[in-house]
A and B are shown apart, each in its own frame.
Chain A
Amino acid sequence: MKYTGAEILIKLLERQGIRQMAGIPGGANLPMYDALSRSDKIRHILARHEQGAGFIAQGQARVTGKPAVFFATSGPGVTNAVTAVADAKLDSIPIICVSGQVPQEMIGTDAFQEIDTYGLGVPITKHNFFARSARELLEIVPNAFRIAQSGRPGPVWIDIPKDVQNELIHIEGDWPEIGLPEPPPAIDLNSIQEAATMINEARRPVVYIGGGAIHSEASDEIFELIEKIESPTVMTLMGLGTIRSDHPLSLGMLGMHAARFTNHALEECDTLIALGARFDDRATGKVAQFCPDAKIVHIDIDASELNKIKNAHVGIIADLKQALQELLPNIERGSNPDWLERIQILKREYPLDMPFADDPMSPYGSIIQTARMLEGETIITTDVGQHQMRVAQAFPFEKPRQWLTSGGLGTMGFGLPSAIGAALEKPGATVICFSGDGSLLMNIQELVTAVEENANVKIILSNNNSLGLVHQQQELFYRKRIYACKYERQVDFSIIARGFGMQACDLGDCIDPMTTLAKVLAKPGPALINIPQGVEHHVFPMVPPGAANREMLCGELKGSDYAEATT
């Protein structure tokens, strides 16, 4: 039978199990869209900006763990998509961007909407392809799916010139096998033994969980490990959800905005068990002073993460779930009552202060009261800034893949489109997008996409009419020289949302905010809840950038000791 390159692409995506995908058509990808229009398996979600399409794909991939695809056209479609793909690279999310390109005969001529997509893709993808013929797609597409989900997951980009999309070829016989994850590397059992010995000898252990625990679906094994050795456990921003926030051994998030007791516990630990974590600077603070007395066991599937930032005493390159399955039988059940007692003392001495938790109008209260009202399956997305750190501190996470946030790249504008993607994959769930006014404005056009899809997305907008975390840093580290972070004009987000066809309410305008919040949350479909908040509320504790994690600033302290930020 004869197929065009575009038809081959769509057929291969169907065979990979793709059923919903976002994108935006344009001149150079019209043949793909023409082929897609004839697919009875794949539903297309029309985004309003390619970055939105990319983050919708991310939302899908983050809640399912499976690769998600999105389409963009050449030139500006590609440059718009770059941020969403780069974000996926930093957080190891398997998305596949398929872009149109000008016909091959015009490449290199500065043709209309021509950009060097391949060159742009190199540093921000796990791998990228340029398809030179329709037949090549038969290898490229399954390979893209294999690469995106093998080992440490990541984004893949496929750039397809228009003439390749239109090229008609004969395909006889079978279609290629679909792309599946490669088997993980074999585990070095000697290292497992060494790690077991080190863990069994630990007197003050801390388990340190990163995003790799989510990707590897290792939550059950980690749970077994921490209960077996009764180890206090910290999570990175990406690792949240691996262990329930209310688990007695959970110390929540570590690092720059951790509870003080969490960072102090790390300071005192004698054995750090790093599981799928990469010692990011926001987690470790000044590396030389991170867990200064600890021996380190580090398990990661990416060999280049071992000894990258901190040398491990035992490093194991492995799929985390498999490694823990090997490790667990060698771990002795035990407890270190002195250490657990010490943790309790630290918790009492250095508690996490979440002021005004009962007031749904306050920064913490809006999160805590929302959490209290939620029923059934719940997924949380955030944007980037103060609200993001507060949700990480305060929200009672229950399970992996419940929490979607832009960790590595820290992209404002992530929250709304990724919430739409999550809602597409989990139609029965309530998806809460905690956002700030600065962040929401960065992809506000996707409000209408949420409405069109009737996505059950509730935007809780902490609106201080400022770039709050910038304001906070200028106040703390730049001698209160507040500049370029307060918006002069106040946007009426309720009117904006209604303009897009979304129901909206303003808790600042109602007599009983608690009841209004509950009512809006309970009503299915997309909604925006605006909560005016003062910019004077800082998110504490805070480790000054470049400082050691023990040097946490808290509410009562001002940062006059820290004249200038170092990073």
Chain B
Amino acid sequence: MNTNTVLEITVNNHPGVIMHVTSLFARRVFNVDGILCMPTLDVSRSRIWLRVKEDERLEQMARQLEKLEDVLMVRRHEASHEVFERIEEFFAA
């Protein structure tokens, strides 16, 4: 069964960061099926939320993310996280 995992990634807030993050997934043909990004209270930083399918490569992905210069923190939420559930109504149609 395909279960979701949610990744919470804190990054420096400047152009190109999302590209650095998402290209790591794209080059491995690894679909990101949900993505949210907003600046944090400290606007020099942003938080990216990714929803991806559970996959044995995720640990490697997390390590690759941690290597990115603009990635400050990566946290993996095992179950489906409420951040995507609460925003689902905007995608219901």
- B19–A122 contact, CB under 8 A? yes
Q: Closest residue of chain A to B16, judged by CB?
A: A118
Q: Which of B30-38, B46-54, B61-69 contacts A (4 or more CB under 8 A)?
A: B61-69
Q: Determine which of A119, A126, A147, A303 lies in contact with B19 in the assembled complex, contact meaning CB atoms within 8 Å.
A: A119
Q: Determine which of B23, B59, B67 lies in contact with A122 in the assembled complex, contact meaning CB atoms within 8 Å.
A: B23
Query: If the complex has contacts A119-B19, A122-B23, are A147 and B69 also in contact, measured as CB distance less than 8 A?
Result: yes
Q: Check if A127 is an interface residue, CB within 8 A of chain B.
A: yes
Q: Determine which of A127, A130, A302, A304 lies in contact with B69 in the assembled complex, contact meaning CB atoms within 8 Å.
A: A127
- B67–A302 contact, CB under 8 A? yes
Q: Please name all residues of chain B whose beta carbon is closer than 8 Å to the beta carbon of A128 when the two chains form the complex.
A: 16
Interface residues of A in 105-155 (CB under 8 A from B): 118-119, 122-123, 126-128, 130, 147
Q: Check if B77 is an interface residue, CB within 8 A of chain A.
A: no
Interface size on B, residues (CB 8 A): 15
Q: Check if A523 is an interface residue, CB within 8 A of chain B.
A: no
- A130–B16 contact, CB under 8 A? yes
B70 vs chain A, min Cβ distance (A) = 8
B86 vs chain A, min Cβ distance (A) = 31
Q: Closest residue of chain A to B26, judged by CB?
A: A123
- B64–A304 contact, CB under 8 A? yes
Question: CB-CB contacts of B68-91 with A at 8 A, as 1s and 0s?
Answer: 111000000000000000000000
Q: Check if A308 is an interface residue, CB within 8 A of chain B.
A: yes
- A122–B20 contact, CB under 8 A? yes
Bound: A118/B18 CA distance, A: 13
B29 vs chain A, min Cβ distance (A) = 14
Q: Closest residue of chain B to A126, judged by CB?
A: B69
A166 vs chain B, min Cβ distance (A) = 21
What's the dominant secondary structure at chain B's contact region?
helix
Interface residues of A in 168-220 (CB under 8 A from B): none
Q: Closest residue of chain A to B66, judged by CB?
A: A303
Bound: A303/B64 CA distance, A: 9
Q: Determine which of A127, A147, A308 lies in contact with B60 in the assembled complex, contact meaning CB atoms within 8 Å.
A: A308
Q: Please name all residues of chain A whose beta carbon is closer than 8 Å to the beta carbon of B19 when the two chains form the complex.
A: 118-119, 122
Query: If the complex has contacts A303-B63, A304-B63, A304-B64, are A123 and B69 also in contact, measured as CB distance less than 8 A?
Result: no
Bound: A130/B20 CA distance, A: 13
Question: CB-CB contacts of B1-21 with A at 8 A, as 1s and 0s?
Answer: 000000000000001100110
B55 vs chain A, min Cβ distance (A) = 15
* Count class of interface residues, chain A: 10 to 19
Bound: A130/B68 CA distance, A: 16
A326 vs chain B, min Cβ distance (A) = 23
Query: If the complex has contacts A118-B16, A130-B16, A147-B69, are A123 and B27 also in contact, measured as CB distance less than 8 A?
Result: yes
- A304–B20 contact, CB under 8 A? no
B12 vs chain A, min Cβ distance (A) = 11
Bound: A122/B18 CA distance, A: 11
Q: Please name all residues of chain B whose beta carbon is closer than 8 Å to the beta carbon of A147 when the two chains form the complex.
A: 69
Bound: A122/B23 CA distance, A: 8
Bound: A206/B64 CA distance, A: 29
Q: Please name all residues of chain A whose beta carbon is closer than 8 Å to the beta carbon of B63 when the two chains form the complex.
A: 303-304
Q: Please name all residues of chain A whose beta carbon is closer than 8 Å to the beta carbon of B15 when the two chains form the complex.
A: 130
Q: Please name all residues of chain B whose beta carbon is closer than 8 Å to the beta carbon of A303 when the two chains form the complex.
A: 63, 66-67
Q: Please name all residues of chain A whose beta carbon is closer than 8 Å to the beta carbon of B69 when the two chains form the complex.
A: 126-127, 147
- B60–A122 contact, CB under 8 A? no
Bound: A93/B6 CA distance, A: 34
Question: Which one of B16, B19, B23, B70 has the highest number of Cβ atoms from chain A below 10 Å of its Cβ?
Answer: B16
- B16–A122 contact, CB under 8 A? yes
Bound: A123/B26 CA distance, A: 10
A372 vs chain B, min Cβ distance (A) = 44
Q: Please name all residues of chain A whose beta carbon is closer than 8 Å to the beta carbon of B64 when the two chains form the complex.
A: 304
Bound: A127/B71 CA distance, A: 11
Q: Closest residue of chain A to B57, judged by CB?
A: A308
B20 vs chain A, min Cβ distance (A) = 6
Bound: A211/B23 CA distance, A: 26
Query: If the complex has contacts A122-B23, A123-B23, A123-B27, are A304 and B16 also in contact, measured as CB distance less than 8 A?
Result: no
B17 vs chain A, min Cβ distance (A) = 10
Bound: A369/B59 CA distance, A: 49
Bound: A118/B14 CA distance, A: 13
Query: If the complex has contacts A122-B19, A130-B15, are A304 and B27 also in contact, measured as CB distance less than 8 A?
Result: no
Q: Please name all residues of chain B whose beta carbon is closer than 8 Å to the beta carbon of A304 when the two chains form the complex.
A: 60, 63-64, 66-67
B89 vs chain A, min Cβ distance (A) = 34
A298 vs chain B, min Cβ distance (A) = 14
Question: Which one of A118, A123, A304, A307 has the highest number of Cβ atoms from chain B below 10 Å of its Cβ?
Answer: A304
Bound: A235/B78 CA distance, A: 40
Bound: A130/B15 CA distance, A: 9
A115 vs chain B, min Cβ distance (A) = 15
Bound: A147/B23 CA distance, A: 20
Bound: A30/B67 CA distance, A: 34
6 examples of A-B residue contacts, CB within 8 angstroms: A119-B19, A122-B23, A123-B27, A304-B66, A307-B59, A307-B60
Which residues of A come within 8 Å of B, CB atoms?
Answer: 118-119, 122-123, 126-128, 130, 147, 302-304, 307-308
- Listed from nearest, the 9 A-B pairs whose CB atoms lie closest are A304-B63, A127-B69, A122-B23, A304-B64, A303-B63, A123-B23, A122-B19, A122-B20, A118-B16
Taking A127-B69, A303-B63 as known contacts, 9 extra A-B pairs with beta carbons closer than 8 A to each other, sorted by chain A number, are: A118-B16, A119-B19, A122-B16, A123-B23, A126-B69, A130-B15, A304-B64, A304-B66, A304-B67
Which residues of B come within 8 Å of A, CB atoms?
Answer: 15-16, 19-20, 23, 27, 59-60, 63-64, 66-70
